[in-house]
Structure 1
Amino acid sequence: MAKSAKSVTDVLLQKNILHCAICKNLLLSTPVMLVENAGNLCSTCYNENFLESKCLQNTALEELVTTLSYPCRFRENGCEHWSSSGDLLDHEENCRYRSKKCPMYSICQCVWEGFPTEFVGHFINCHGEHIINFENSLFYLDITFSEEELIKLLVMKNIILLLKMQLSLEKNKLFYVVCNVKDDGSNYDYSVKHKGNSESYIKTRSRVLDSNYVYKSVDECDAVSVDLLSLQQTVKVTNRITNIFKIKTYDTPVHYIGERMLHFFECPVCKSFMKPPIYQCQSGHSICNTCKPRLEKCPTCRAPFGMTRNYSLEGLTAGVSYPCIYHDLGCMMSLSPAEISRHEAVCPYKPYNCPLPQCTMSGSHDIITNHLQEFHSDHVVVSDSHGYAESFRLEQHSLYNHIFDRKVLLAFDHIFRLTCKRVSDYCMWAAEAIGVQSELKNFVYEVSIIDVRRPEKRLIRTDYCLNEMPEEDLFKKCIMFPNSILSSYSSHGMVSYHFKIKKGV
């Protein structure tokens, strides 16, 4: 019966009986006026131009129009939706098969418009520099205070999303929205860590919206908003905000106990998962052992804290696999409470700090590598095998007890900090491997003292690269050359040396 009704509607549509004679739209608005020498007109097209024409209200057609169901006008694009005249306009307004405009108009005035199936191809061909391909549901995006708006196409296997981010200095807020290009009903959530020049961060969570939201003005109703003042005070943002996005798909395998269960182990202050010892206030609210010393009262009920332990919750931790604290950065490891703490100390996803003093920048390996080359290029050497050469005046007493050379060497996809120091009787060299404790013995550093008068005459020593450590400990385990020996290699009081990193055998 339904198919028969649809067939009748199709016949009437083909003969244009249900369309306005002027605008050619369906006669969904009343009154429908039958005008001599014109035909049936919708309420919009029937105006003062036809007041002197013979006409009458076509109530029979109005009743027929309200009785029938109609196909979406984007049926040719693939939509199979049928609905009554009252619901059709609402559906078409949000139909995922409606023609798409390019959202890059606000960035580069692109006026492309086409079918949804053509949209991704257009973006790849015309706006390839605005595409982010990512894996493990994780990607990084920086925005500076000089950029008012960013639009990125996000691609991870068969997931295609659009990100729109706006920085409003007038409202002192960062707005952003993530939309599903396919509009296929997939259910995605995402979280974002907003970082500046400190190790702290502000974290936000939201859900992926339908694609039509990317064409709307980004405001506090639809978009996530982050207060810029909070970012400046909490995470020491100056001119650049680093945003770490984590997309969560509900069909992604989860390697640790579900979030609903882990929720009971979440500290209400730092949002990390609590591990023994776990404390509780007089009312029974739990808090982790890191946050407890900082607080006098419970953040939930304001009751005072004592030394009461939540032994029941502690007992449950034995059967829980804890996700690594860097899971938002891509780590999928999950272990028992004791094992996960050891893993986190050497986790390859652990954020790096800038290895140069006075700089508080932190981020992933790639972020810090790019940061070093952009902001500290005078102190960076990029070389897998050659290292770098330098010289200094041996009798320059003003250098005693001071660092006289510090470089960062980018080699073998790792970051190394090379430091040289002089005291009255010795010159000392040390190399630290940044963030690679588990691979430390794979790398050695080599210092060569070169007689420039006879380059074949060299004094060479090697040693294993060190962990990151305070300066006062660094030169207890370093390569040292007595000044008396260095003087025999000097030329006109200058000593030349070559410093490089090598892979261990």
Structure 2
Amino acid sequence: MTSLSKRVVPDIILENLTCRICCKYLTVSPIGVHPDGGNICGRCLYGKKSSPTCLFECMEDLNYHSFQGFIPMVLLGYASYPETLFPCVNRFEGCNKLLPFSAIKNHEKICVYKKFQCPLCQFQGVGSQLIQHFRTGHKRYLSSENPVFILKIDNDFSETYLFRSENTLFLVKVEYIKDLSQFMFETLCLGTPSRKLGRLRILFRIPSGSISTYNDYILLSDRLEISRNCRFNMTFKINDFRLSETKNVVCSYNLFYTE
């Protein structure tokens, strides 16, 4: 257990300080600055001699600067104190280590991790990278905990969302088949969840035809055994309900853990 004298870097800080190249946290020095803006972590700069090159985005020489001079000030405020702890970049894969800044580089050499494939493109990365990738490349498909989806019912569709529940990531694929008036939800758990039992509750808010009035329909799953790579599905048909002229249905997706 972390002692009271220790403090953990808040997620809101950590997840806004990521490497422009690899999308991982800026927790490995030296930290560089890209000429077009943004920082580059020591994983991408470390070991390069003379003028490093941005292998993933461009062929321009990088402005290599030392950690001490160009680390973002908010990160410097945390990294300068040995009592400050940082989570491992593989936290969503099940690593619960909390480490001082100086220990992260060596820890990552032995930490077991697994890359995930982005369902929307060819990007691959660990969970923390996937969050940043969605934030910059698929922002409309990144949802906060207990997300709300606006689902269109005028045509068939298939969308995949990434959302975070506590220290676990989930991919939620939502499909709608108009001819069947049917929604299908497939949820995939990425990594290792901190708690393994839960229930899924999906609330559909369907316009009743009059102004600002709705009919609410709730789907509640049986108890779920949530574990790495587990999948669970739920289906809902709306053909028995009278819809107004609106083409959207509001859907709240909530995952509750049980002890």
Count of aligned pairs between the two proteins: 180
Look up the equivalent residue of 1:492 and give its one-letter code.
E
Separation (CA, whole Å) in 1 of partners of 2:171 and 2:192: 12
1:165 CA drift (Å): 6.0
Look up the equivalent residue of 1:371 and give its one-letter code.
H
2:243 corresponds to = 490
TM-score by length of 2: 0.51
1:504 corresponds to = 257
Separation (CA, whole Å) in 1 of partners of 2:117 and 2:170: 11
Given that 2:204 and 2:217 are in contact with CA atoms closer than 8 Å, whether structure 1 keeps it comes out as: yes
Look up the equivalent residue of 1:460 and give its one-letter code.
I
Which SS does the other structure have where 1:359 is aligned? Answer: coil
Look up the equivalent residue of 1:429 and give its one-letter code.
F
The answer to whether the aligner puts 1:390 opposite 2:143 as a matched pair is no
The answer to whether the aligner puts 1:328 opposite 2:82 as a matched pair is no
Separation (CA, whole Å) in 2 of partners of 1:151 and 1:479: 42
Deviations 1:293-343 (A, max 9, x none): xxxxxxxxxxxxxxxxxxxxxxxxxxxxxxxxx8623xxxxxxxxxxxxxx
Deviations 1:60-106 (A, max 9, x none): xxxxxxxxxxxxxxxxxxxxxxxxxxxxxxxxxxxxxxxxxxxxxxx
2:205 corresponds to = 450
Q: Mapping of 1:304-315 within 5 angstroms?
A: none
1:168 corresponds to = 52
> 157, 181, 184: which is aligned to 1:428?
184
Deviations 1:146-170 (A, max 9, x none): 589x8999xxxxxxxxx7866434x
Which SS does the other structure have where 1:245 is aligned? Answer: helix
Q: Mapping of 1:67-82 within 5 angstroms?
A: none
Q: Mapping of 1:294-309 within 5 angstroms?
A: none
1:432 CA drift (Å): 2.1
The answer to whether the aligner puts 1:246 opposite 2:106 as a matched pair is yes
TM-score by length of 1: 0.29
Look up the equivalent residue of 1:380 and give its one-letter code.
L
Q: Mapping of 1:2-401 within 5 angstroms?
A: 139-140=27-28, 146=35, 167-169=51-53, 245-246=105-106, 328-329=110-111, 350-363=113-126, 365-382=127-144, 384-385=145-146, 387-394=147-154, 396=155, 399=156
1:458 CA drift (Å): 0.9
Which SS does the other structure have where 2:106 is aligned? Answer: strand
Separation (CA, whole Å) in 2 of partners of 1:328 and 1:466: 23
Which SS does the other structure have where 1:357 is aligned? Answer: coil
Which SS does the other structure have where 2:197 is aligned? Answer: helix
Given that 1:489 and 1:495 are in contact with CA atoms closer than 8 Å, whether structure 2 keeps it comes out as: no
Structure with max Cα Rg = 1
Separation (CA, whole Å) in 2 of partners of 1:415 and 1:404: 20
Separation (CA, whole Å) in 2 of partners of 1:491 and 1:481: 18
Separation (CA, whole Å) in 2 of partners of 1:168 and 1:456: 58
1:498 CA drift (Å): 1.5
2:234 corresponds to = 479
1:478 CA drift (Å): 1.4
Separation (CA, whole Å) in 1 of partners of 2:206 and 2:245: 11
Separation (CA, whole Å) in 1 of partners of 2:227 and 2:191: 11
Separation (CA, whole Å) in 2 of partners of 1:467 and 1:151: 31
Separation (CA, whole Å) in 1 of partners of 2:34 and 2:148: 36
Question: Relative to 1, partners in 2 of residues 1:457 and 1:147: Cα closer, same or farther, differing over 3 Å?
Answer: closer
1:455 CA drift (Å): 4.5
Look up the equivalent residue of 1:378 and give its one-letter code.
R
1:359 CA drift (Å): 3.0
Percentage of matched positions with identical amino acids: 7
1:415 CA drift (Å): 1.7
Separation (CA, whole Å) in 2 of partners of 1:245 and 1:437: 24
Higher relative contact order (CA 8 A, sep 6+): 2
> 456, 460, 464: which is aligned to 2:218?
460
Question: Relative to 1, partners in 2 of residues 1:358 and 1:366: Cα closer, same or farther, differing over 3 Å?
Answer: closer
Look up the equivalent residue of 1:246 and give its one-letter code.
N
Q: CA RMSD in A?
A: 4.6
Separation (CA, whole Å) in 1 of partners of 2:48 and 2:254: 41
Separation (CA, whole Å) in 2 of partners of 1:407 and 1:392: 15
Deviations 1:355-377 (A, max 9, x none): 433232313x4333233222321
Separation (CA, whole Å) in 2 of partners of 1:164 and 1:416: 35
Question: Relative to 1, partners in 2 of residues 1:152 and 1:381: Cα closer, same or farther, differing over 3 Å?
Answer: closer
Separation (CA, whole Å) in 2 of partners of 1:491 and 1:372: 33
2:72 corresponds to = none
